Amino acid sequence: MELEVKRGPSLQGATLGDLYVDGVHECFTLEDVAREVPGAPVESWKVPGETAIPCGRYRVIIDHSAHFGRDLPHILDVPGFTGVRIHSGNSAADTEGCILVGQTKEANLIYQSRAAFAALFEKMQAASEIWITLS
């Protein structure tokens, strides 16, 4: 399974985007502000708990999150970040570098997040291998 997040510009403290599953639009995304400076080390631009992960392609597994107390998608080997997940939420206050998903959006918020996550997670659980690209 190939996931792709196409980010829009960071506005009002959040970065909205579109998530595609194997090339088909699945839902909207919300992340922290994208602060990446291409070519610069992560520690020079990252604001802990308030920064979107760097653009790139990453492997995703489903494993247990101690923080959330349940199985969730886990984005692996993100430079300068640990514990990056895909989960439900509505605003930048609900993420610390993770990717939130929702069915509708406005300004710097997403809505119907639990429904969007449930539909996406079902597809992810059926996949034998998952990769995500952020651009």
| Mean pLDDT value across residues 109-130 | 98
Token pair for residue 71?
């199985």
- pLDDT tens for each residue of 13-44: 999 999 999 999 999 999 999 999 999 999 99
For residue 104, the model assigns a pLDDT of: 98
Q: Rounded to 5 degrees, what are φ and ψ at 42?
A: -55, -45
Cβ neighbours for 125, distance < 8 A, ≥ 6 positions apart: 62
- pLDDT tens for each residue of 86-99: 999 999 999 999 99
- Tell me the pLDDT band of 6, cut-offs 50, 70 and 90: very high
- Tell me the pLDDT band of 78, cut-offs 50, 70 and 90: very high
Cα 85 to Cα 56: distance, rounded to the nearest angstrom: 15
Cα 98 to Cα 124: distance, rounded to the nearest angstrom: 17
For residue 65, the model assigns a pLDDT of: 97
